[in-house]
Amino acid sequence: MTTNNLRVAPPQQIGPLQIWPLLWENLATHQFGISADLNQLEFAELEEEEGPVVGWIQVHNPTDHPILIPSGWVVAQGLLQERTLISPEYIEASTTSAIQVSCVEKGRWEKTAITRKVVRAPISILAAGFNFDSNKGIWVVDQNTRQDRVWKQIENYECRSGARETHSLTQILEEDAEKFEIQRKVSKDIREVLNVYPKQNGVLIALEGKPLLSEFFSNPEGIATTLNKTLMAASFDAQSEKNFGIDRETVLKYLAEVRATKIHLTQEETWGAHFSGGTDHLDTRLTKFGDERVLQVSTLNRNHPALVGV
C-alpha cells in the first residue's frame, strides 16, 4: 500500500487525545455519503427460516448516491437491538445489502420508540475479537469469541458508571458523555479547538503517547462529522486526563510503517473490493472502488495498551 504526497499538519490537543490532520494528495476524490447521510439509510433485521439473526442485518439505500458506513458505527433504527458494524460497508445507490454486525444491546429484542444518537463505538470495541494470522499477514475476526469480547468491553464501561436495563452501548455513551470529565473536555475541545482543514482527508489519533488509529476517506466533505464521532468514541478508551502527545518524527515513522503494509484481497464486491494487511502490531483495512480508486483506509495500532488483549 502506498500513500504518496502525504502532508502532515501540526497537532491539536482534544482532551487527552492528540490528533494530527493528514492530507493524502494523490487520494482521488470519490463522492459518497458518510456519517451525516446515514440517517437516509433504512435498516431491518435479516430474516432466516427460524427468524431474525443477531449477527447480520439488512440495509437499504433508497437514495441516488452511494453511502459508506465506517466500521464501528452503531445502528439501531428499525432494529430489534443495537448493532455495531464489524467492517466498513459501502452501500450502492438504490440497493439492499446484508452486512455483518455484533450486538451492543443485550437486553432488548423488540422494537422501541426510543431514538438515540448515531454514534461510533469506542476503538476497543471496534477492535475486539480479532486475532492475527501470521501465515496470511492479516487480522481475522474470531467468530467464536467476537461477541463475548465485545460484551467484555461494554461491561467495563458499566463497571465504571452502572449497568443499564438493556446494557445499551449507545445509552452508556450518551449518559457518560455528560457524566465524566474526560468526555466533557473532549466535547468542549471539539467545539472550541478542533480545526478540520478544507482539503483534509485523513487523521492520526494518538492516546497516552502512542498512535491509536489513522484513517483516510476519499470524500473529505464527510470527515468533520466522522472525526467528531470518532474522537468521542476514542475518549472512552482513555484511562487518564493527562495530555500525552507524540512528536512529528513518531508520526512519520508510524505512517511509513502503514504505507509499507502489504495488503491482501479479502472480499470482492460488485462495486469494488476489500483488502486487509498487517503485522502483529498493525491492522490495516482498505476499500477500493472497481476502478482502483481508494475509498477508505483505516489502521489500528494493535500494540496500544487500550487494544492489547481485547
How many degrees, rounded to 5, is the angle at CA 209 between CA 204 and CA 214? 15
50-107 pLDDT tens trace: 889 999 999 999 999 999 999 999 999 999 999 999 999 999 999 999 999 999 999 8
Q: What pLDDT was estimated at residue 36?
A: 67
Predicted confidence (pLDDT) at residue 240 exceeds the cutoff of 80? yes
Q: What pLDDT was estimated at residue 146?
A: 97
Q: What is the mean pLDDT of residues 27-49?
A: 84
Q: What pLDDT was estimated at residue 108?
A: 93
Arithmetic mean of pLDDT over the chain: 93
Q: How many CB atoms lie within 10 A of CB 305?
A: 14
Q: What pLDDT was estimated at residue 2?
A: 61
What single letter denotes the amino acid at residue 265?
A: L
Q: What pLDDT was estimated at residue 297?
A: 95
Is-contact 191 227, C-beta < 8 A? Answer: no
Pairing label, strands 12-14, 17-24: antiparallel
Alpha-carbon distances, residue 55 vs 42, 144, 145, 197, 297 (angstroms):
17, 12, 13, 37, 24
Q: What pLDDT was estimated at residue 26?
A: 83
Give percent above pLDDT 70 in the chain: 98
Question: How many Cα atoms occupy the beta-carbon half-sphere of 90 within 13 Å?
Answer: 24
d(CA 85, CA 99): 8
What pTM was estimated for this model as a whole?
0.95
Report domain extents, the chain: 6-31+122-301
